[in-house]
Structure 1
Amino acid sequence: MNQVTDIIDHNLKILFIGFNPGRRSAETGHHFAGHSNKFWRLLAAAGLTPYQFKPEEDSKLLTVGIGITNIVARPSRAAEEITKEEYRAGREILKEKLIAYKPQIACFAGVGVYKEFAGRTRVTCGMQPISVISGVTDFVVPSPSGLTRILFNDQLAYYQELVQLL
């Protein structure tokens, strides 16, 4: 499977961080490309984008101050396939990205992603009380994956809270 290029720049408002690219994202070369993934719909509904971008428009996110990366770059069918060694290496690479690019908010797309990054066992969605990188606010939203059982409006509430932080 092909790797998916980061959508990243300096001083972004929000840098979204996923586990790793899924199979469809690897096939298309675009983030959150799974047919049932709600990421693009959530961004538009929360007012983070002027309309609902398509995955192939992911590079346009930079025009609205948003970027995307992952804790692990290697695509897989499921996050369960990611090894402890990949998480360990990815954690360090992600820390370096956050220090170098200094987004206002590091937004983790899933509680599990943040647990792996921060090394914390108790994590809830929303703003985190202590950030891993000084000067970057840590925020967690539910995974937008179609496998997530959280209702759309419940997910949207966290994206709206994210907008309020800006």
Structure 2
Amino acid sequence: MKQVPDIIDYDLKILFIGFNPGLRSAATGHHFAGYSNKFWKLLAAAGLTPYRFRPEEDRALLAVGLGVTNIVARPSRAAAEITKAEYQAGKEILAAKLSLYRPRLACFAGVGVYKEFAGRSNIKCGRQPVPTVAGVTDFVVPSPSGLTRIVFAEQLAYYQELARLLACSTQLEER
């Protein structure tokens, strides 16, 4: 099964970080490609993209200052299949990416992703009080997977909060 390439560059506004690619993403070569995945719908509804991108347009995220990577590159049917060793190796690789590319915000698409990366428990969605990489703000949103039981409106509220945080940080930078 092929890996899905990162969509990453320097000076991104937001780098979204998932668990790992699902089987449909691996088959198509595009992030968040699962039929029931709400990622693209959430980005558009929160105003983070100018319209609802299709998974095949994932590379166009760079044009609006967004990127995507995963804590583990190996595709699987479910995140539950990821081993502790894969998480540990992925954690080191992700920390290096965040240090190198320095996105303004690192948005973890799922509480579990952030728990694995930060090694912290009792995580709540929203801005995290302590960054894991100096100079990069950590933010957690619910997983957009179709397996998530959180209703769309509640998920959207966190993406809207992320958009507001981005707007505030952009205004501060412009001063």
Q: TM-score by structure 2 length? A: 0.94
Q: Give the aligned residue type for 2:85.
A: E
Shift of 1:106: 0.2
Counterpart in 1 of 2:57? 57
Q: Who is 1:100 aligned against?
A: 100
1:68 pairs with 2:65: no
Report the CA distance between 1:22 and its aligned residue: 0.3
Deviation track 1:5-31 (CA, whole Å, cap 9, x = no partner) reads 000000100000000000000000000
Residue deviations 1:107-140, cap 9 Å, x none? 0000000000000111000000101000000000
**Alignment correspondent of 2:26:** 26
Question: For the aligned residues, what is the CA RMSD?
Answer: 0.4
SS of structure 2 residue aligned to 1:2? coil
Counterpart position of 1:87: 87
Gaps of 5+ in 1: none
- What is the percent sequence identity of the aligned residues? 75
Distance 1:163 1:51 in 2: 15
State TM-score, norm by structure 1.
0.99
Which residue number corresponds to residue 133 of structure 1?
A: 133
SS at match of 1:9: coil
Runs of 4+ in 1 over 4 A off after TM superposition: none
Q: Which residue of 1 aligns with 2:4?
A: 4
What's the CA shift string for 1:3-61, capped at 9, x where partnerless? 00000000100000000000000000000000000000000000000100000000000
Counterpart of 2:28 in structure 1: which amino acid? T
Alpha-carbon distance in structure 2 between the residues aligned to 1:151 and 1:83: 28
**Could you tell me how far apart the structure 1 residues matched to 2:128 and 2:121 are?**
13
Size of the aligned set, in residue pairs, is 166
TM-superposed CA distance for 1:98, in Å, is 0.1
The superposition leaves residues 45-102 of structure 1 with CA deviations (integer Å, 9 ceiling, x where unpaired) of: 0000010000000000000000000000000011111111100000000000000000
- Identify unmatched segments of 5+ residues in structure 2: 167-175
**SS at 1:93's partner residue?**
helix
Tell me what 1:145 maps to.
145
